[in-house]
Amino acid sequence: MTAVRTRFAPSPTGYLHLGGARTALFAWAYARHFGGTFVLRIEDTDLERSTPEAVQAIIEGMQWLGLHHDEGPFYQMRRMDRYREVLAGMLEEGTAYYCYSTPAEVEAMRERMRAAGDKPRYDGTWRPEPGKTLQPVPEAIKPVVRFRNPLDGDVTWHDVVKGTITISNRELDDLVIARPDGTPTYNFCVSVDDWDMRITHVIRGDDHVNNTPRQINILNALKAPLPLYGHLPMILGADGEKLSKRHGAVSVMDYPAQGFLPEAMLNYLARLGWSHGDDEIFSMEQFCAWFDLDHLSKSAAQFNPEKLAWLNNHYIKLTDNAKLAEMTHALMMADGAQFAAAPDPAAVMGLMKERVNTLNELADAAMLFYRQPAPDAALLAQHLTEAVKPALRDYLQRCATIEWSKAALAAMLKEVLAAHSLKMPQLAMPMRLMLTGQLQTPSIDAVVELFGREVAIARIEKFLA
């Protein structure tokens, strides 16, 4: 069997969006599954819409996801000599021809066909045929080059996602493959590249299905081997509409900024249009081992931000606490965190990570321990009543000597509650306010333990004076 070679071939006209990243992931995983080669090709021939910033954004997005390419990036704009060489060969062999019809003439012939109820196409005026005499070449006109598409028969391919697709050659025009200035056009460049780069499997979005028969015909004319094609259905928003900004971030690189982990994004994208039984959570290693083209879905996948958040929570919980502390450090600094005389950030991460969906939420939650508490006066008056102050004094006194562990603190708090005939919230709520300035925190014993003996006592004492 030939070694598997796949490619991701983005046009650098914007950011790397979720659909593009999913295409890249599947092409990458397929190459990895077979120990093959994953090629990155930048299709930058649309000079008006391509930008170096977009190239950078695509490369950054792939790097963030860890979808490393083995070859490339190849830039189509740097391959012009090669395209010209192939064009020259085709002109010589007669699989392509110069067409001197002017744009106005082409428009007029299309109009005529539309009027006659036919599909508008080039009428073949300049198409060479055996025994046909062409008109004299008009000197003032710079010709385009057209591909000499077969007139009869069908193009059939077995799409690994969509099944067998057949298109009649009558549906296909004699495609312009080079403009009057000699620059090659899209379908031609893709075909030459897939041939030169020895691509065995073309996995791409199904917006390219219409291009495939044209590319197959060009490859056949070049006597190039045909790759297998698989066209992935679109990703839709939860409302069934085409995914757009309305559905949340569409650019992959918006996700790290919101505190998503690449593991979560990869795992999420992997399940958009592919399945392995009921498995929802798996590593990329596992995915590459499983990934095949037999379990790709024929129907459009729906983007579900809640599921992505759920996976992100899962991967945050799996991440080492010290690593999480590192990852949230800059966010917390920007929020004014004071790390001196404060709990160990790794321990705080360990306590807070259960309940958050993003690193940004984690940083927010952790700030509890790194800012001076400023409880609302009215709230404090409501919870810190004269009735509970003696119990709090008792609690502080015991704090001074108790073994500093969550279990010991919990047992001690229960004793204090019993001794003063109070219920848990009667002590826990004012303590939360005094320690952190807020009423919502993890278990009070965990919070007290993390602050440490000195800070915990000092913060509560201040309000009891």
Q: How far is the CB of 42 from ligand GLU (least distance, A)?
A: 9
Span interacting with ligand GLU, options 8-16, 70-78, 240-248, 336-344, rule CB under 6 A: 8-16
| Cβ-based neighbours of 335, under 8 Å, separated by 6 or more | 363, 364, 367, 371
C-beta of 197 vs 301, nearer to ligand GLU = 197
What angle do helix axes 406-419 and 424-436 make, rounded to 10 degrees?
A: 130
Span interacting with ligand GLU, options 9-17, 60-68, 226-234, 240-248, rule CB under 6 A: 9-17
Q: How far is the CB of 22 from ligand GLU (least distance, A)?
A: 13
Q: How far is the CB of 207 from ligand GLU (least distance, A)?
A: 7
Q: How far is the CB of 45 from ligand GLU (least distance, A)?
A: 9
**Structure token pair of residue 321:** 């606490």
Q: Which residue has the tokens 């899209």?
A: 186
Q: How far is the CB of 13 from ligand GLU (least distance, A)?
A: 8
CB 365, CB 422: distance < 8 Å: no
Span interacting with ligand GLU, options 4-12, 313-321, 333-341, 349-357, rule CB under 6 A: 4-12
Q: How far apart are CA 122 and CA 113, in angstroms?
A: 10
C-beta of 124 vs 213, nearer to ligand GLU = 213
What is the pairing mode between strands 176-178 and 144-147? Answer: antiparallel
Contact flag: residue 208 with ligand GLU (CB under 6 A): yes
CA pseudo-torsion sign 185, 188, 194, 200: positive
C-beta of 190 vs 218, nearer to ligand GLU = 190
Neighbours of 18 (CB within 10 A): 24
CB 15, CB 57: distance < 8 Å: yes
Interacting residues with ligand GLU between 210 and 239 (CB under 6 A): none
C-beta of 11 vs 286, nearer to ligand GLU = 11
Ramachandran angles phi, psi of 297, nearest 5°? -85, 145
CA pseudo-torsion sign 430, 436, 442, 444: negative
* # chain residues binding ligand GLU, by CB under 6 A: 7
Reply yes or no on whether 245 is catalytic. Answer: yes
Contact flag: residue 10 with ligand GLU (CB under 6 A): yes
Contact flag: residue 11 with ligand GLU (CB under 6 A): yes
Q: Which residue from 29, 43, 365, 368 is in contact with ligand GLU, where contact means CB under 6 A?
A: 43
Contact pattern for ligand GLU over residues 139 through 178, marking x by CB under 6 A: ----------------------------------------
Q: Which residue from 4, 5, 6, 9 is in contact with ligand GLU, where contact means CB under 6 A?
A: 9
**Structure token pair of residue 210:** 């219409």
Contact flag: residue 190 with ligand GLU (CB under 6 A): yes
Q: How far is the CB of 161 from ligand GLU (least distance, A)?
A: 14
Contact flag: residue 398 with ligand GLU (CB under 6 A): no
From 132, 245, 423, 462, active-site residue: 245
| Cβ-based neighbours of 191, under 8 Å, separated by 6 or more | 215, 218, 219, 222, 224
C-beta of 77 vs 464, nearer to ligand GLU = 77
C-beta of 169 vs 211, nearer to ligand GLU = 211
Q: How far is the CB of 141 from ligand GLU (least distance, A)?
A: 31
C-beta of 11 vs 321, nearer to ligand GLU = 11
Q: Which residue's CB atom is positioned nearest to ligand GLU?
A: 204
Q: How far apart are CA 96 and CA 80, in angstroms?
A: 17
Q: What is the DSSP string of 380-428?
A: HHHHS-TTTHHHHHHHHHHHTTS--SHHHHHHHHHHHHHHTT--HHHHH
H/E element, 256: helix 254-257
CB 140, CB 128: distance < 8 Å: no
C-alpha 324: how far from its chain's center?
22
C-beta of 65 vs 362, nearer to ligand GLU = 65
- Which positions are catalytic? 245
Site residues for ligand GLU per CB under 6 A: 9-11, 43, 190, 204, 208
